[in-house]
Amino acid sequence: MILPAGGEQVTGPEGAEKLFGGFIKGGVKNHKITVQGGEGNSGRGYVDGRWQADAGDKPLNGHWVNVLEREDGQWRTALHTWNLDQ
């Protein structure tokens, strides 16, 4: 599940591709993330940090967080969300 800043919930690979593909087509580029922390146990965890990107001449940045779940021995993203600094 993806909860975009100011947007509607998105689910599934097709939804993610449409959402992020729309950002790219809209001119968002130079996307970078920095991991600042995280914690977990045997079945669930989280990772958080900062992100930045360019949209034309306008720099964008904010915080992000992923909630992870262990499934079939692998970590998978259960939730991805972010905000946009004002």
CA distance 17 to 19: 6
Strand residue runs (E) in 1-86: 2-3, 28-40, 44-55, 58-71, 74-82
Mean pLDDT of the region 45-71: 96
Mean pLDDT of the region 58-64: 96
Q: Which CATH fold topology does 2-82 show?
A: Nuclear Transport Factor 2; Chain: A, (3.10.450)
Report whether pLDDT(42) > 90. no
Cβ-Cβ contacts under 8 Å for 12 (sequence gap 6 or more)? none
Cβ(1)–Cβ(78) below 8 Å: yes
pLDDT band at 44, cuts 50/70/90?
very high
pTM of the model: 0.85
User: Which strands sit side by side in the sheet containing 58-71, from one edge to the other?
Assistant: 2-3, 74-82, 58-71, 44-55, 28-40
Quote the mean pLDDT of the chain: 94
